[in-house]
Amino acid sequence: MRRNHDRRVIYTNAPSGDLTLLDGTRLLATLWDISQGGACVLVQGNVTSLNVNDLCTLTLKEKGGLDELALKTKVAWSSVEDAGTYVGLKLRTGGKIPPGTFLDRLQRSRQPQQPGHHCSADGTPPDQRAIWAALPAG
């Protein structure tokens, strides 16, 4: 599956919150990248129970702020990696991030993703070596 929108990689101060599955299971999640039509989140732990098209709700809180936003999503893909489980999500809310929200501002303010650094355009999970190489030393 290819994304139809440019992604914005979140290198620092990434919003975090919960990915709530249809059965009520809540998974701690951190935003990895975002586009107008979806997002990639990093979920703590090895989550093998996700299936493509599973319905869920992504609730994120603005880092250092008070704003919180819940988005109805569905799973596009997932991949268990050393750092946790990467989950590609497609928005069900009309296909776009609600305008004027902190996620809309964040999505518009970041630079488009550089090829090979994070979730690829075809929806596959990130290459860990490229991610670590892209992070600042220290």
- pLDDT tens, the chain, 138 aa long: 444 545 555 666 788 999 999 999 999 999 998 887 889 999 998 998 999 999 999 999 988 878 899 999 999 999 999 889 999 999 986 678 888 888 888 777 755 544 444 454 444 455 544 444 444 444
**Using the 8-state DSSP alphabet, how is residue 32 labeled?**
E
Beta-carbon contacts of residue 8 (< 8 Å; ≥ 6 apart): 33, 34, 35, 106, 107, 108, 109, 110, 111, 112, 113
Number of Cβ atoms within 10 Å of the Cβ of 70:
13
Q: Is the pTM of this model over 0.75?
A: no
Could you tell me the residue ranges of all domains in the chain? 8-117
In the prediction, which pLDDT does 84 show? 92
- Cross-strand partners of 16: 30, 61
The CATH code of the domain at 8-117 is 2.40.10.220
The residue to which tokens 């709530």 are assigned: 20
